[in-house]
Structures are given as C-alpha cells and as structure tokens.
Amino acid sequence: GSRQATRVMTITFLAWSYVSMQVCCGPQCCTLFTQDAICTLNTLQTNASALEQVRRERGNPQLQLQAMKGFLERAGLTVEELDHLNIIHVTGTKGKGSTCAFTEHILRSYGFRTGFYSSPHLVQVRERIRINGQPIRKELFTKYFWQVYGRLDETKAHGGTMPAYFRFLTILAFHVFLQEKVDLAVIEVGIGGAYDCTNIIRRPWVCGISSLGIDHTQILGDTIEKIAWQKGGIFKTGVPAFTVKQPTSPMAVLEERAKDIRCPLWVCPELEEYQVGCGPLHLGLAGQHQRSNASLALQLSHAWLQRRCLPGGISQHVTGVPPAACFKPSPIMIKGLADTEWPGRTQMLRHGTVTYFLDGAHTTRSMQACIQWFKDTAAQHERNAAGPVARVLLFNATGERDSAAMLKLLVSCHFDFAVFCPNITEAIASCNADQQNFNVSVENMLTRCLDNERSWRLHNHMGDNPSTQLLIQDSLPLVLENKSDTLVFPCILSALQWITQGRDAVLAGPVKTVIPVKPSVTAKAAPIREAAAIHVLVTGSLHLVGGVLKHIDPSSNK
C-alpha cells in the first residue's frame, strides 16, 4: 500500500545518494545500504495469487520474451549489447548449475575474467551474480542495483510496471557483466529454456543441455518430451550445442529442435573416454552423477576456447546428433575440474562429531544420485567412527515437487530420525532479507512439512498418527511431537539445535537463540546424545540447504 510505496521511495532516495557520492563510510554503512537494496528487490517477488495469474496467461509465452526486451531497454540496455558478453548458455533439469560451475572454473583458470549468473542463491542474493568465481561485492551490488532499479522506476510513468524478481536479477546480471567488462559470461537458465527470460540472448558462443527429467511440470509440460522441447529452445542458428546422453525420446526431440533451428548438436562422451595420460580425472564435486556434468563442461569450454583462439569456430555437421570429439584435456582443464567448488551440491562439512551432508536434490532423479553419494560417503566415515553413528534426515520440499516419491527413496538410507522444517531460517524476526520468500504463506509451509512427516511415517510402515499436536509456547508452534522417530520444527535453527544436541559449537554460540522445547521432545534425542558421531543429510530443497549453511558456515554470511 501507500506505506510500502513510501518506504520504497525513501530507500530509493537514500540509495541514489549513496551511488552519486560513490563513497562508503565503512562496512556497517555498506551492509545497511545493501540490505535496503535487497529489501527493495524483495518487493518484486511475485505473490502466490499473481503466480497463478502468470500460469493462466502462459497461452502466449512469446509475450514474455517481448516483455523482457522492453524491460531490458528501459534499463538502458539492448539485446545487441549482450552479443559482446561471449555467452555460454546452459539449461537442463539436473546438473546445469554444476556444469556451469565446472565451465566457469576451467575458463577462469585460463586467465579470462568470468561472469557467472546462476539461481537460486543459498545464503545471499549476491551469490547469483559472480565475477571471477566470487559473489559480487556488496558495494558493487548496491551501486549497480540502484542504477538498474532507478532507470526502471523512472520509466513506469506511462502504464509501465516493474519486472518480477528473477527478470530483474537477470537484467542486473547483464548490466554488471557489461560494466565489469568480463571476457565471457556463463548464464544458467532459470526454468525451461525457450521462454525463460535468459533466452533473450541472441548470439551465445555455445549452448549446453545437462541431464533431462521431470520438474516444473505446470510450466514446462507433464512429459519429458515436452520438457525437452522447452530446453531445446535455447538452440540458436549456427551456434554449436552439446548435450549429455539422454533417454531415446527426449534425445529425438532435441535432435528435431536442432534440425529446425539449424543448430549443430553433439552428444558428449563419457568422462572415461577422454585421452588423459595421468589416470582418471579427479573432480572437485563429489558423486558419480557429476561425471556427465564434467564432460559437458569440457566440451563447452573447449568450444568456447576454439572460437576465442580460432575465429572460424568448430566444424559443423549436417545431420543427426554425432558424438563430440574425445580430445585430450589440457592440464589447465584437468586442474579446473579438480578445483571446482559449488556449495550445497554433494557438499560435506564436519564440525567435530557432527558431519553435515548437504545436497539440494529436489527431483526423484537427483535424489537417487544424492542417496548414492550419501550412502557411499557416510559408509566410509562410519567405518572409521569410534562407536555407533546416529543418522538423521533433515528434509523439506517446495512447490509442486513430489515429496512422497523422494521420501520413499530416502527410506533405504536407514535413518534413525527424520526431521522436517520449512525453509525459514529462524522463528524469530530477522533482518536477513536475502532469504525472505513472499511467494508462499507460513501456514502453507508448515502444512507441507506435516504432509511430509505423514508420508515418511507411511513409507516406514509406522502408520498415520492424526492425534499429533503442534506444541505452543508463547504463541509460537515449536515442535510437532510424535511417539516415534519423526519431528516437525517451525524453523531451520530449532531443527538443527535439536539434531546436534549442543555438539556443534557453531550452533551453541552466544549469538544463537536457543529455542526451548518440551522435556519429552528433548528426551527423544537420547540416542543422538549417546552416539559417537552424528551424520545429518540435508536435502529436498536448495533453499533448505542455504538456510542450514547460513547457520553452520559463518563464511557464507560475509
């Protein structure tokens, strides 16, 4: 309402003053201005009712790209300028972010100045826009944010609107990369491909498609063939494209799309097929599923380097989808793959006797890969433990994801406890604007957690327990108490504190609010307190993983 509008106008005035002065009075001042920018950014989040309207209006999705072009021009940019970013454009259902991370690290290792745009962020929104592998600095984020926001706000006068959250960040990323004069930009698609707002790009240098699966069905379609058609929409005439091996039917769709668009398409070889004389390639990202992502990254970086060094580009074929060349990776490529880091994906953090296994898997296929990684890695650590190890699952899923199917797969990990919570970092008021989500109500988030808990009980043959009650203390639901091994907490911090039982010093520090629970709930944790070590798998949602990292990894908050 008018109060929100007044707040935005006040923030705009203060921030423009900051930008015009081009000075910062110190870290605290910089952080304050950055938080104001993020609070204003959050006003662009689409609420749930507006999201429904967007879904209903998807009958003419081409209008979305036209709207994006209009927003871009209002922000003072043109699609022609984007041609100078030497873009690598990547889509897929599973592994596109990891592929981008491998690709960016390889090319940065060659000495190129890289830009990298990805989503979602884990802890801070600045993670989405990276320069040379690092999130853009706070002062630069604030400066460029208000430049773009101001131009868009000034041009609303004649019935114009502001772009939604992801569209705005995409425009901001393009602006940052142009201003910072990167040698190349690795751009990860948001959702789909054909009508994603990143697809305003006209002339990327090379395109890639990682593993395909079922996700975002309300937007992309309910079959893998429909999804493949959307993903193939990033193909461009004459621009080389690479894909990992896909099932027969989606591969046929990609081949047809490439033929229609006249885009040369190749299939990446297995990682073992590359001509490496120093033994198997070592990857910085754990998990067998990362091998296909690494192969795709090798092809993307190789094609980009060929265009950079050989302006004629790579030779093009006429028909079919032939295998890509199994070239010999350079020492720089080999080291780039080995040194790649991508938080929240098959990541392990050890805090004394507590070991966290973090993976943002949110589809059944990605969950299968996560489970295999967890079983293999946890088993190695358990063999070296001084005694019994307690296994705990911390799970949440959002949107239209099939939670029941993922939980059914997770049963095979034989957890001692399953804990559920919404993607709310803390139950108390917080100034952490980076992780605020206005697209779903707290009531809906807690209801989803209760549904997940019920599904877990049914999969474990515990039966349903309709008599469970949310315990209330000081008007705050603190924990759902059951007579078995499942619990639902109102926020991530309360869940982590119960799981670790004071054994993680980071969570027990003086700056952390200890959220009280009933004695009966504390008593349930006796097996955890008595165990020699605790293994915690955090999965189901990248937003959940990000909320956990905010609490257990202080460096992620800098």
Q: Which CATH architecture has domain 4-339?
A: 3-Layer(aba) Sandwich (3.40)
Number of Cβ within a 10 Å radius of residue 6? 10
- Rounded (to 5) percent helix, strand, coil in the chain: 50, 15, 40
Looking at the DSSP bridge assignments, the partners of residue 481 are 469
pTM beyond cutoff 0.85: yes
Q: Classify residue 282 by its DSSP letter.
A: P
Q: Please give the structure tokens belonging to residue 343.
A: 């938080």
Q: Is 430 annotated as a binding-site member? A: no
Please check whether residue 502 is in contact with residue 492, taking contact to mean a CB–CB distance below 8 angstroms. no
Structure tokens at 20: 């015009």
The tokens describing 554, both together, are 């202080």
Task: Give me the pLDDT at residue 18, please.
Answer: 36
Give the three-state DSSP class for 80. helix
Question: Residue 350 corresponds to which tokens in the numbers above?
Answer: 């050890």
The CB density around residue 434, as the number of other CB atoms within 10 Å, is 21
Q: Is 188 assigned to a binding site?
A: yes
Only one residue has tokens 């605020």, namely 436
- Bin 22: left if φ > 0, else alpha if -120 < ψ < 50, else beta: left
DSSP 128-161: GEEETTEEPPHHHHHHHHHHHHHHHHHTTTTT--
Q: If DSSP states are collapsed to H, E and C, what string results for 291-327?
A: HHHHHHHHHHHHHHHHHHHCCCCCCCCCCCCCECCCC
Kindly state the DSSP code that residue 268 receives in the 8-state scheme: P
Relative to beta strand 389-395, strand 265-267 is unpaired
Residues 6 or more apart whose Cβ sits within 8 Å of residue 384: none
The number of C-alpha atoms within 13 Å of 544 and in the hemisphere containing its C-beta is 29
Residue type, 506: V
Q: For strand 129-131 and strand 134-135, is the pairing parallel, antiparallel, or unpaired?
A: antiparallel
Strand partners, 88: 186, 206
Per-residue pLDDT of the chain (558 residues; tens, 9 = 90+): 554 454 444 334 433 433 443 334 444 555 667 888 989 998 888 655 445 545 554 566 778 889 899 999 999 999 999 999 999 999 999 999 999 999 999 999 999 999 999 999 999 999 999 999 999 999 999 999 999 999 999 998 777 789 999 999 999 999 999 999 999 999 999 988 999 999 999 999 999 999 998 776 667 777 999 999 999 999 999 999 999 999 999 999 999 999 999 999 999 999 999 977 777 899 999 999 999 999 999 999 999 999 998 665 555 554 578 889 899 999 999 999 999 999 999 999 999 999 999 999 998 989 999 999 999 999 999 998 989 999 999 999 987 789 999 999 999 999 999 999 999 998 765 556 666 766 677 888 889 999 999 999 999 877 555 444 343 333 334 444 443 478 999 999 999 999 999 999 999 876 677 777 888 888 899 999 999 999 999 999 999 999 999 999 988 877
Question: Which one, of 272, 265, 267, 273, lies nearest residue 326 by Cα?
Answer: 273
| Beta-strand runs (E) in 11-128 | 87-91, 114-117
Where do we find the tokens 């592994």? 95
The residue length of the chain stands at: 558
Nearest to 66 by CA among 154, 177, 167: 167
Domain 4-339 matches domain 347-461+482-557 at the CATH topology level: no
Fill in the amino acid letter for 103.
T
The dihedral built from the CA positions of residue 291, 294, 296 and 302, taken in this order, carries a sign that is negative
Domain range summary for the chain, segments of one domain joined by +: 4-339, 347-461+482-557
CA distances from 153 to 158, 161, 173, 250, 285 (A): 11, 8, 18, 42, 41
**CATH 3.40.50.720 is right for the domain spanning 347-461+482-557:** no
| 283 contacts 291 by C-beta, under 8 angstroms | yes
Helix 331-339 and helix 96-109, axial crossing angle in degrees, nearest 10: 130
Report the distance separating Cα 82 and Cα 270, nearest Å: 33
How many other C-beta atoms lie within 10 A of the C-beta of residue 48? 11
* Residue 198 and residue 119 in contact, taking contact as beta carbons nearer than 8 Å: no
**Would you say 83 is a known binding-site residue?**
no
Residue 543 structure tokens: 């937003």
Q: Is 421 exposed, middle or buried (0-12, 13-18, 19+ CB in 10 A)?
A: buried
Alpha-carbon Rg for the chain, nearest whole angstrom, is 24
Helix (H) or strand (E) holding 536: strand 533-539
The pLDDT value recorded for residue 438 is 60
Burial code (b: 16+ CB inside 10 Å, e: under 16) for 171-188 equals bbbbbbbbebebbbbbbb
Query: Rounded to an integer, what distance in angstroms lies between the CA atom of residue 127 and that of residue 147?
Result: 19
**Which amino acid, residue 401?**
R
* All residues at 6 or more sequence positions from 363 whose CB lies less than 8 Å from its CB, including other chains: 93, 94, 213, 214, 215, 401, 402, 406
